[in-house]
């Protein structure tokens, strides 16, 4: 397997090694479909996060996630969740012994943005990775489709990439994906991708978000791979702007004089200077963790009976673990010593997420959306 396809989080630039002092920012790069930890960020032989950014921000340490995102030759069975968990584990190791206040900023292209969203969601609910969530200040998304409306969008994106393939068999053409196991897997799990986007809204509300969209069509076509409307998340603290490039070139720069590169540098600094995320697993008494997300495992961090004399237990929206089955039904898992008698949990959770600040309660439990 080529180095570009190995699952790894490598250091592209370390200020201490370069004699520039102790890092004050950890910049984490995550490439997208058909990309790599180096080539996605390379233009005319220039790896801008290593060779250009160091001129503007010499104390920014740069790490780059690598994983097999080849849409033609990919036999990996790993998915978004696997890549996200691996990135968190590796980032935790890289930050061992460093100042926990050192800012983390993620830069993600295309599918890489989905991995980042999944990783931050997991960090937000998992005490082991809470320091990563607390240190994360912002995310720069380059052409990331946030799956706001069209479940077939991912397949369309994969089809748009097909001219890049070195070969295309009749079978691959009939499948419309170039025969990519990765894309086929993602297409089969499109519902899970929608849920990743929805569950990211909570941590996103505390982050500085920049969404860049492509302003040039894909070569040989009249269309952009990811439309502007699909890159915008509509969350607090989000800014969005176009880059004068197509989907592949939008995150590649070869000169410090490039105006788009200059803008990216500004956004990285703005994100790093933003306040702490301030979210994560609650420590309030009698609160437990929750996710209304299919396939997301979550062990309540604290359980117990209601306090003496209390008529009910009040729980934050991240409070009851809810598993959504394929038929749309839901089951509230019972933490030790707390008995839930919530009725119609599917409708209640759906109402909470669909209508913002509201609460639903019964005799024993009150669910509060914040």
Question: pLDDT tens, 200-255?
Answer: 887 888 899 999 999 999 888 888 888 898 898 888 889 999 999 999 999 999 99
Residues 296 and 161 in one domain: no
State residue 156's pLDDT score.
64
Clarify whether residues 266 and 287 are in a common domain. Answer: no
Q: Do both 44 and 122 map to the same domain?
A: yes
Structural domain ending residue among the three candidates 273, 292, 310: 273
Q: What is the pLDDT of residue 72?
A: 63
Question: Tell me, what's the pLDDT at 364?
Answer: 40
Q: What pLDDT does residue 286 have?
A: 27
pLDDT above 90 as % of the chain: 45
Considering the domain architecture, whether residues 210 and 318 belong to the same structural domain is answered as no
CB-based contacts of 198: which residues, under 8 Å, 6+ apart?
Answer: 293, 353
Residues 42, 119 share a domain = yes
Shared-domain flag, residues 97 and 224: yes
CA 66, CA 10: separation in Å to the nearest integer?
8
pLDDT of 347 reads: 39
Distance CA 242, CA 215 (A): 6
Last residue of one domain, picked from the residues 224, 251, 273: 273
pLDDT score for 220: 82
Q: Which of 246, 273, 300 is the last residue of a domain?
A: 273
Tokens 């894309």 correspond to 183
Helix and strand counts by DSSP (H, E) for the chain: 13, 14
Query: With a cut of 50, which residues of the chain have pLDDT below it?
Result: 1, 148-149, 163-179, 278-370
pLDDT of residue 165: 41
Q: Give this prediction's pTM.
A: 0.71
Domain count, the chain: 2
Q: What is the CATH number of the domain that holds 75?
A: 3.40.50.1820
In this structure, are 56 and 148 located in the same domain? Answer: yes
108/225 same-domain check: yes
Check: CB of residue 210 under 8 Å from CB of residue 144: no
Task: Using DSSP bridges, classify how beta strands 330-332 and 322-324 pair: parallel, antiparallel or unpaired.
Answer: antiparallel
Cα separation, 96 vs 207, in Å, equals 23
The pLDDT of residue 76 is 59
Q: Tell me which residue range forms the domain holding 78.
A: 3-273
Same domain? For 268 and 286 the reply is no
Q: Is 111 helix (H, G, I), strand (E, B) or coil?
A: helix
Do 159 and 186 belong together in one domain?
A: yes
Q: In terms of domains, do 265 and 306 share one?
A: no
What is the separation, in whole angstroms, between the first and last Cα of the chain? 46
Q: Which residues pair with 298 in a beta bridge?
A: none
CA distance 358 to 370: 8
| Rounded CA Rg of the chain | 21
Same domain, 243 and 149: yes
């Amino acid at each position: 397997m080529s180095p570009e396809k190995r699952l790894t989080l490598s250091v592209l630039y370390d200020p201490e090694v370069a004699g520039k002092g102790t890092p004050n920012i950890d910049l984490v790069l995550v490439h997208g479909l058909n990309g790599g930890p180096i080539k996605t960020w390379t233009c005319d032989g220039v790896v801008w996060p290593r060779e250009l950014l160091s001129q503007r921000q010499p104390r920014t340490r740069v790490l780059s996630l690598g994983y097999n995102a080849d849409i033609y030759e990919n036999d990996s069975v790993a998915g978004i969740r696997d890549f996200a968990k691996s990135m968190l584990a590796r980032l935790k190791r890289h930050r061992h012994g460093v100042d926990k206040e050192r800012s983390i900023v993620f830069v993600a292209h295309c599918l890489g943005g989905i991995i980042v969203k999944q990783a931050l969601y997991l960090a937000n609910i998992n005490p082991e990775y809470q320091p990563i969530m607390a240190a994360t200040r912002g995310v720069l998304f380059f052409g990331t489709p946030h799956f706001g409306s069209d479940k077939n969008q991912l397949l369309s994106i994969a089809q748009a990439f097909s001219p890049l393939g070195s070969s295309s068999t009749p079978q691959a053409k009939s499948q419309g994906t170039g025969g990519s196991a990765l894309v086929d897997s993602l297409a089969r799990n499109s519902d899970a991708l929608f849920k990743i986007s929805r569950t990211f809204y909570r941590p996103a509300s505390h982050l500085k978000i920049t969404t860049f969209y492509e302003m040039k069509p894909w070569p040989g076509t009249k269309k952009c791979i990811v439309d502007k409307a699909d890159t915008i998340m509509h969350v607090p603290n989000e800014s969005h702007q176009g880059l004068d490039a197509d989907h592949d070139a939008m995150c590649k720069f070869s000169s410090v004089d490039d105006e788009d590169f200059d803008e990216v540098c500004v956004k990285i600094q703005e994100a790093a200077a933003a306040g702490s995320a301030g979210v994560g697993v609650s420590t309030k008494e009698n609160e437990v963790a929750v996710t209304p997300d299919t396939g997301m495992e979550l062990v309540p961090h604290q359980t117990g009976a209601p306090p003496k004399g209390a008529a009910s237990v009040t729980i934050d929206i991240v409070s009851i673990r809810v598993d959504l089955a394929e038929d749309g039904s839901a089951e509230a898992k019972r933490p030790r010593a707390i008995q839930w008698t919530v009725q119609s949990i599917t409708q209640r959770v759906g109402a909470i997420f669909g209508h913002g600040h509201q609460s639903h309660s019964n005799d024993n439990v009150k669910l509060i959306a914040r």
